[in-house]
Amino acid sequence: MAAAHTPQHLPQIRDPTQRHYSLPLGISLSEAKMAAMLQELRSSMKEDLQLAVNDIRREVHEVGTRLNVLEEKTDDLCQANDGILEKIRLMESEQARLTAKLADQKDRSRRNNNIRVRGVPESVAGSDIPGYLQQLFTAIQPNLELADLLLDRAHRVPKPASLARDIPRDIVTRLHYFSAKDAILMVQRKTTAMPSGYEKISLFADLSPMMMARRRDFINVTKCLRNHKIPYRWGFPTKLLIWRNGTLTKLDDPDQGMHKLKAWGLFPDRAPPNHPASPGQVVQEWTKVQRKK
C-alpha cells in the first residue's frame, strides 16, 4: 500500500468555527502597551525629577549656609572697618592739631620779629636795603623813633620759579624789637593805601611754608571777603578772624568759611581746594532673610 503524499504548497483551510478578529484585537493590545509605557515613563520621569529636585535643594541649602556665614563675616568686617576709620579720623585730627601747633611754635620762635617786604625794586642794592626799610617803616608808622627801628638783618630771598622775571625778589628783615614790628603790621592791616612813594610795596608776616600752605586753603574765602570789603585778619595757628556788623567771627577751616559765607548770602566764585578724603564707612547692602526650614 502506497504512502500518502501530502503536497507542501497546499493552501491551509481555516476552521470555519473559529472567528478571527486580527485588526480589532491588535488595536486593543497596542493601546494597552502604550498606556503601560506611558505609565512607566511617567514614573521614571517623576523619580528622576524628584532626585534632581532633591539635589538642587541640597545644593541651595549648602549655598545658603555658606552665604549666611559670609554675611556674618562681612558684618564683622564692616564693624571692624568702621572702628578703624574712626581711629583714623581721630589720628588725622590729632596730627593736624600737632602740625599746626608745630608750625605755630616755629613761626613764633624763629620768625617772631620778621617782616616780609614785597615790591622793593631790584635797583635797591643789598647794602642800601636797611636804610630803605627804615625810611619805609618810618613813613608807615611815624610814631616810631629811629632807635626803635633797629634791624638785626635784612636780605632778599629767592623767588619761586613760577613768578615772572621782572618781579623783584622779596626782602625778609628782622626787627630787634617786637613792639616795633607789631606796630608796623598793625598800621598795615588797618590801612589799604601805602604812603606816597611806596604804593607798590606790601608788607606781610614772615611765615613758614607750612603755615602759608594752610592759609592758601582760605584763598577763596579771603577773596570773597575782599570783594565785599569785609575786614579780616589772621590768627594763630591758622584762624581767620572776620569783623562784620559789629560781630567777630572765627573760622578754623575753609569749609567752615564757605558755609559761613553762604549763610551771609555771599557766594565765592569757586569751591575751596579739595584734599584727599579719608575712606568712608562701608554701607551694608543686604538684608538678612530668615530662611525656611
Shared domain check, 177 and 202? yes
Question: What confidence category does residue 235 fall into, taking pLDDT thresholds of 50, 70 and 90?
Answer: confident
What pLDDT is recorded for position 3? 47
Note the residue count of the chain: 293
Position 292 pLDDT exceeds 80: no
Shared domain check, 144 and 64? no
Shared domain check, 163 and 116? yes
Shared domain check, 126 and 185? yes
Shared domain check, 128 and 74? no
Q: Is residue 39 part of a domain?
A: no
For the entire predicted model, the pTM comes to 0.53
Q: Is residue 289 part of a domain?
A: no
Q: Are 109 and 208 in contact (CB under 8 A)?
A: no
Could you tell me the residue range of the domain that residue 177 belongs to? 112-206
Q: Which among 106, 126, 142 is the end of a domain?
A: 106
**Mean pLDDT within 265-281:** 58
End-to-end Cα distance, the chain: 95
Query: pLDDT averaged over the chain?
Result: 80
Q: Is residue 196 part of a domain?
A: yes
Position 204 pLDDT exceeds 50: yes
Shared domain check, 89 and 159? no
Shared domain check, 263 and 184? no
Shared domain check, 116 and 102? no
- In what helix (H) or strand (E) does residue 244 lie, and over which residues does it extend? strand 239-244
Position 128 pLDDT exceeds 90: yes
Is 293 strand, coil or helix? coil
Q: Which among 149, 182, 206 is the end of a domain?
A: 206
Q: Is residue 117 part of a domain?
A: yes
In this structure, what CATH number is given to the domain that contains residue 254?
A: 3.30.250.20
Shared domain check, 148 and 163? yes
Residue 282: Cβ within 10 Å count:
14
Tell me the CA distances in angstroms from 78 to 125, 284, 288, one per residue in order: 65, 8, 15
**Could you tell me which of 155, 149, 209 has the C-alpha nearest to residue 181?**
149
What pLDDT is recorded for position 29? 53
* Separation CA 171–CA 173 (nearest Å): 6
| Stronger pLDDT, 107 or 23, i.e. the higher one | 107
| Count of domains observed in the chain | 3
Position 71 pLDDT exceeds 90: no
Q: Is residue 68 part of a domain?
A: yes
* Separation CA 128–CA 132 (nearest Å): 6
Q: Is residue 279 part of a domain?
A: no
What pLDDT is recorded for position 170? 93
DSSP state of 179: H
Q: Are 184 and 141 in contact (CB under 8 A)?
A: yes
Q: Are 197 and 119 in contact (CB under 8 A)?
A: no
* CA-based torsion, 83, 89, 92, 97: positive or negative: negative
- Sheet with 202-205: strands ordered across: 151-156, 171-175, 114-118, 202-205
Shared domain check, 125 and 190? yes
* Separation CA 214–CA 237 (nearest Å): 10
- Per cent of the chain over pLDDT 90 is 22
Q: Which among 174, 206, 238 is the end of a domain?
A: 206
DSSP 91-147: HHHHHHHHHHHHHHHHHHHHSTTEEEEE---TTS-GGGHHHHHHHHHHHH-TTS-GG
pLDDT, tens only, 147-175: 999 999 999 999 888 888 889 999 999 99
**Mean pLDDT within 107-127:** 86
pLDDT, tens only, 83-95: 899 999 999 989 8
Q: Is residue 288 part of a domain?
A: no
What pLDDT is recorded for position 290? 56
Angle, CA of 192, 199 and 114, to the nearest 5°: 75
Question: What confidence category does residue 25 fall into, taking pLDDT thresholds of 50, 70 and 90?
Answer: very low
What pLDDT is recorded for position 284? 58
Q: Are 144 and 160 in contact (CB under 8 A)?
A: no
Shared domain check, 176 and 231? no
In this structure, what CATH number is given to the domain that contains residue 172?
A: 3.30.70.1820
Shared domain check, 150 and 89? no
